[in-house]
Structure 1
Amino acid sequence: MSDYDVIVLGGGPGGYIAAERLGHAGRKVLLVEADALGGTCLNVGCIPTKALLNAAKTYEHAKHGSNLGIHTSDISVDWTELQKWKAQTVTTLVKGVGFAEKKAGVTVVKGYGTFDGPGRVTVRFDADGASGSGPAQRAESYTGDHVILATGSVPVMPPIPGAKDNPHVVDSTGMLAVDAIPPRLAVIGGGVIGLEFASLFATLGSEVTVVEMLPEIVPFMDAELAPMLRKALGNVAFKLSCTVTAIDGGSVKYTTADGSAEAVEADVVLMAVGRRPAVQGWGAESSGLEVSGKGVAVDDRMRTNLPNVWAIGDVTGRSLLAHAAYRMGEVAAANILDPEAHRRGEVMRWGTIPWAVYSIPEAAGIGLTEAQARAKGGNVQTVTVPGAMSGRFVAENGVKAPGAAKLVYDGDTLQVLGLHVVGSYASEMVWGASVVLETELTITDLRQVVFPHPTVSELIREAAWAAKA
Structure 2
Amino acid sequence: MNEFDVIVLGGGPGGYIAAERLGHAKKRVLLVEADALGGTCLNVGCIPTKALLNAAKTYAHAKHGAKLGVNAGDISVDWPTMQKWKKQTVDTLVGGVGQAEKKAGVTVVKGHGTFDGPGKVTVDGTQYTGKHVILATGSVPVMPPIPGAKDNPKVVDSTGMLAIEEIPARLAVIGGGVIGLEFASLFAMLGSEVTVVEMLPEIVPFMDDELAAQLRKGLADVKFKLECKVTAIDGGTVKYVTLAGAEESVEADVVLMAVGRRPLVQGWGAENSGLEFSGKGIVVDDRMRTNLPNVWAVGDVTGRSLLAHAAYRMGEIAVANILDPEAHRRGEIMRWNTIPWAVYSAPEAAGIGLTEKQAAAAGYTVGKVTVPAYLSGRFVAEEGVKAPGACKLVYDADSLTVLGVHVLGSYASEMVWGASVVLETELSITDLRQVVFPHPTVSELIREAAWAAKI
Same fold at TM > 0.5: yes
* Alignment deviations for residues 268-298 of structure 1 (CA, whole Å, 9 cap, x no partner): 0000000000000000000000012310000
Contact persistence 1:59–1:77 (CA under 8 A): yes
1:236 aligns with 2:222: yes
2 CA distance for matches of 1:96 and 1:418?
Answer: 35
Determine the structure 1 residue equivalent to 2:244. 258
Determine the structure 1 residue equivalent to 2:379. 393
Determine the structure 1 residue equivalent to 2:320. 334
Determine the structure 2 residue equivalent to 1:457. 443
Q: Secondary structure at the match of 1:225?
A: helix
AA partner of residue 29 (structure 1): V
* Alignment deviations for residues 223-242 of structure 1 (CA, whole Å, 9 cap, x no partner): 11100000000000000000
2 CA distance for matches of 1:54 and 1:337?
Answer: 40
AA partner of residue 414 (structure 2): E
AA partner of residue 253 (structure 2): D
2 CA distance for matches of 1:10 and 1:309?
Answer: 14
The 5-angstrom pairing of residues 39-438 of structure 1 reads 39-124=39-124, 139-438=125-424
Determine the structure 2 residue equivalent to 1:33. 33
Contact persistence 1:186–1:264 (CA under 8 A): yes
AA partner of residue 59 (structure 1): Y
AA partner of residue 42 (structure 2): L
1 CA distance for matches of 2:332 and 2:51?
Answer: 33
Q: Secondary structure at the match of 2:386?
A: coil
2 CA distance for matches of 1:2 and 1:468?
Answer: 63
2 CA distance for matches of 1:282 and 1:97?
Answer: 23
Contact persistence 2:373–2:379 (CA under 8 A): yes
AA partner of residue 385 (structure 1): V
* Alignment deviations for residues 128-171 of structure 1 (CA, whole Å, 9 cap, x no partner): xxxxxxxxxxx211000000000000000000000000000000
1:378 is displaced (CA, Å) by 2.9
2 CA distance for matches of 1:363 and 1:379?
Answer: 26
1 CA distance for matches of 2:431 and 2:349?
Answer: 25
1 CA distance for matches of 2:446 and 2:345?
Answer: 21
1 CA distance for matches of 2:361 and 2:110?
Answer: 47
Contact persistence 2:432–2:447 (CA under 8 A): yes
Which 4+ stretches in 1 moved above 6 angstroms? none
AA partner of residue 377 (structure 2): G
With structure 2 as the length reference, what TM-score do the two structures score? 0.99
Q: Secondary structure at the match of 2:195?
A: strand
AA partner of residue 289 (structure 1): L
Q: Specify every segment of 5 or more residues in structure 1 that has no aligned partner in the other structure, as ranges.
A: 125-138
AA partner of residue 430 (structure 1): V
* Alignment deviations for residues 360-410 of structure 1 (CA, whole Å, 9 cap, x no partner): 110000000000001112321000000000000000000000000000001
* Alignment deviations for residues 154-201 of structure 1 (CA, whole Å, 9 cap, x no partner): 000000000000000000000000000000000000000000000000
The 5-angstrom pairing of residues 12-27 of structure 1 reads 12-27=12-27
AA partner of residue 48 (structure 2): P
Contact persistence 2:10–2:135 (CA under 8 A): yes
2 CA distance for matches of 1:189 and 1:232?
Answer: 18
AA partner of residue 16 (structure 1): Y
AA partner of residue 282 (structure 1): W
1:2 is displaced (CA, Å) by 7.2
Contact persistence 1:2–1:145 (CA under 8 A): no
Q: Secondary structure at the match of 1:420?
A: strand
Aligned length: 455
* Alignment deviations for residues 34-69 of structure 1 (CA, whole Å, 9 cap, x no partner): 000000000000000000000001000000000101
AA partner of residue 78 (structure 1): D
Q: Secondary structure at the match of 1:432?
A: helix
1 CA distance for matches of 2:412 and 2:351?
Answer: 8
